[in-house]
Amino acid sequence: MWARIKGKTENDLTKLPFRAAYNFRPGYIQPMLGMKNTYRVLRYLSWLYPVLKAFFSKYVIRLEEIGKAMIEATLKGYPRQVLECQDIRKLSGN
């Protein structure tokens, strides 16, 4: 059910009269060091990030990369409206 609602929301956002709308679809997001408002399980599993990135790089991204990509998409645009982890990584410059 959440996928249907998410898809409808993304479609509705693209219909609004903005110059562009970008839908970010990250998989696992590695939080930044020192963040306090994260799930406790992430604090204990953050050491797994290099392993996850090695085997599932299409689905794993760092929070800093998402932030940089959002800024770049706003300033320079991007040819696609739906950005997966690979697009986010490319747009962030990493």
Phi, psi of 2 (to 5 degrees): -65, -35
User: pLDDT exceeding 90 applies to what percent of the chain?
Assistant: 36
Q: Which of 83, 87, 94 is nearest to 21 (CA)?
A: 83
- Banded pLDDT at 76 (limits 50, 70, 90): very high
Full-model pTM: 0.81
* pLDDT range class, residue 34, cuts 50, 70, 90: low
pLDDT number for residue 38: 67
Tokens of residue 72, six digits: 């770049």
Mean of pLDDT values over 23-51: 75
Backbone angles phi and psi of 39, in degrees to 5: -65, 140
pLDDT of 71 over the 90 cut: yes
Measured between alpha carbons, how far is 65 from 57 in angstroms, rounded to an integer?
13
